[in-house]
Structure 1
Amino acid sequence: MPTLSPEPTPRPRLEPHQHRQMAESFGADAERYDRTRPRYPEAVVRRIAAAAPGPGLLDVGCGTGILARQFRAAGCRALGVEPDQRMAELARRLGVDVEVAGFEAWDPAGRRFDAVVAGQAWHWIDPVAGAAKAALALRPGGRLAALWNAFQLPTEVAQAIADACRRVMPEAPFDFQAMVRPPLDPYQGLLAKAADGIREAGGFSEPEQWRLAWQWQYTREAWLDQMPTQGLFTRLPPDRLAELLVAVGAAIDAIGGGFTAEYTTVVVTAARD
């Protein structure tokens, strides 16, 4: 009597903070990352700074110091924590003090801050352990603020990227069609996990969401320059990355050589009790 082969055991789905190789891959081209990644709206930076009880700020997963430099321009003193030595070195060259460590293992050594912020980085951190460490590093009334730039591309460009990703990266465990959905849809899970982590860690007020919509104009060259800095593509072999960029470039050419991206900066924030 024939026997059936056992069904393969599905691999457990990793949370973003468990994708350590991807989380620490952005330093492969730190200069491109700093040059091409969008900044955060000044109004959002100033709102966070105004909600903190003082100017001392800790930037978690600071990367090349993009957000830290924006807060410094708003009158804050910023210290960065960054796990990637390559990103940290560039941040230092650009004037940001950085300590190299994963945030969960980082030691505040008795220091207290008025705000702990994370720009486009909190999903790479365990949401409960990260919130607990932030509570340890914040003085009473201090502000935890995790922020993301969620964006939506024109449908033609987003669909071209999704189609090319499925062709070039068939083994990747991602829903590429999410690129075509409204900008905040793919972020809802991240936002909920961040808020739940804050609640579970304790010591904070009820998390809030702040949002600000804005737009940014991209030329074909500017978008193709930024794409290799995005987490899905930082470890893609050069030949496959080139194939992807050719397909996306053709889609942008078909709509006139440039486009407007719709951005929403969203902040998950809570105050230290």
Structure 2
Amino acid sequence: MPTIPYEPADHPRPEPHSHRQVAESFGVDAGRYDRTRPHYPEAMVARIVNESPGREMLDIGCGTGIEARQFLAAGCTILGVEPDARMAEFARTTGVTVEPGLFESWDPAGRQFDAVISGQAWHWVDPVAGAEKAAAVLRPHGRFAAFWNAAEPPAEITEAFITAFRRALPDSPFDVAAMRLGRKGYPALTDRAIDGIRKSGLFAEPELWRFDWERSYTRAEWLDVLPTQGALTRLTAEPLADVLNEVGEAIDALGGSFTVRYAAVVVTATRD
């Protein structure tokens, strides 16, 4: 899979790590989150494993253990760090070892790792302090890899969501219009990670890897996913139902099912 050139985004970048109330809202329904959130391409997992000096890994913001279980299946040992006690407890029930806390203040107790990974979570970490902490717990030439799934549903579904969300929450700070970027929207997150790595001065030049893949959804499956999105996790029942109904009508108009195109994008660097 390709290593893609780094081109800085030409739009203001968010600072999601400062919004802890959102970051810690996903555990409201940990079971739904684990059941519905997409996994990552096996090719991505294999490349991270193969380009790390060993298989002892630290998973930052491990959530319910989605990516941790994929790396365990690839022969790695995993320790997760997770600030949400509900998510951490769910991960433990699936066989993932988890310690509580924010990564920036978590105590590694002298332990070091071959790789520090973070799936769909590094944007909740201070980009510079996080990079410095990652370097501190990595063995020489250890690999840092933060990755995200950037989703691109059909335009009709995206537009229905934006319209319904703005009607339900006209004063929301979430820039849901950015969803129109689809798989092109990842620089809003990856740029921050790259800048943090560079500012730390502790890593070789970061790289971007991209892995394209697809998944089909039924109406019921997609409406099960949506409440786990950060823009919706704190909605009350009535406005959430309004959003889901409008998106559901758009899915019905497409025949009741559709395909989402994903780009799994990895920001990665080795400890210098």
* Distance in 1 (alpha carbons) for counterparts of 2:253 and 2:238: 23
Which residue of 1 is the match for residue 251 of structure 2?
252
Report the counterpart of residue 172 of structure 1 in structure 2: 172
* Superposed CA offset, 1:37-75 (max 9, x none): 000000000100111111100000000011110000000
Deviation at 1:203, TM superposition (A): 1.2
| Closer, same or farther: CA 14–143 of 1 in aligned 2, 3 Å | closer
Q: Counterpart of 1:217 in 2: which secondary structure?
A: strand
Asked if 1 retains the 8 angstrom alpha-carbon contact of 2:92 and 2:98, the reply is yes
Q: For 1:163 and 1:119, how far apart are their aligned partners in 2?
A: 29
Q: SS at the partner of 1:184?
A: helix
How many angstroms apart in 2 are the aligned matches of 1:214 and 1:52? 23
Amino acid of the residue matched to residue 218 of structure 1?
Y
1:213 and 2:212 matched: yes
The aligned counterpart of 2:226 is 227
Q: What secondary structure does 1:212 align onto?
A: strand
Deviation at residue 125 of structure 1 after TM alignment: 0.4
Larger Rg: 1
Return the alpha-carbon distance in structure 2 between the equivalents of residues 138 and 261 of structure 1.
35
CA distance in 1 between partners of 2:263 and 2:14 (Å):
26
List per-residue Cα deviations over 1:75-127 (Å, max 9, x = no partner): 00000000000000000010000000000001111100000000000000000
SS at match of 2:95: coil
Looking at structure 1, the residues matched to 171 and 227 of structure 2 have their Cα atoms a distance apart, in angstroms, of: 18
| Match in the other structure for 2:109 | 109
Instruction: Supply the AA of the counterpart residue of 2:155.
Output: T
Contact 2:153/2:182, CA 8 A, preserved across alignment:
no
Q: Distance in 1 between matches of 2:136 and 2:246?
A: 47
Q: For 1:199-233, what per-residue CA distance to the aligned partner results, in whole angstroms no more than 9, with x for missing partners?
A: 11121000000001111001000000010011110
CA contact (8 A) 2:14 2:188 kept: no
Report the alpha carbon displacement of residue 15 of structure 1 after superposing the two structures with TM: 1.2
Aligned match of 1:4: none
Q: Give the corresponding residue for 1:241.
A: 240
Structure 1 gaps of 5+ residues are 1-12
SS of the residue corresponding to residue 264 of structure 2 reads: strand
Question: Could you tell me which amino acid in structure 2 is paired with residue 148 of structure 1?
Answer: W
Partner of 1:183: 183
Determine the structure 2 residue equivalent to 1:194: 193
- Paired letter, 1:230: Q
Q: Which residue of 2 aligns with 1:5?
A: none
Q: SS of 2:194's equivalent?
A: helix
Q: How does 1:258-269 map to 2 (within 5 A)?
A: 258-269=257-268
Q: Distance in 2 between matches of 1:265 and 1:252?
A: 24
Residue 163 of structure 1 and its aligned partner are, at CA, apart by 0.5
Aligned residues: 260
Deviation at 1:190, TM superposition (A): 1.2
Q: Distance in 2 between matches of 1:212 and 1:81?
A: 25
TM-score between both structures, scaled by the size of structure 1: 0.94
RMSD between aligned residues: 1.0
Q: Aligned partner of 1:260: which letter?
A: T
CA distance in 1, matches of 2:223, 2:232: 12
- Partner Cα separation in structure 2 for residue 124 and residue 114 of structure 1: 22
* Cα distance between partner residues in 2 of 1:195 and 1:65: 24
- Which runs of structure 1 show a deviation greater than 6 angstroms over 4 or more consecutive aligned residues? none
The offset of 1:179, in angstroms, is 1.6
Unaligned runs of 5+ in 2: 1-12
Distance in structure 2 (CA, Å) of the matches to 1:36 and 1:16: 22
1:14 shift after superposition: 6.5
Larger RCO: 1 or 2 (CA < 8 Å, sep 6+): 2
The one-letter code sitting in structure 1 at the alignment partner of 2:218 is T
**Secondary structure at 1:183 match in 2:** helix
TM score, norm. by length of structure 2: 0.94
Report the AA paired with residue 29 of structure 1: D
1:254 CA drift (Å): 0.6
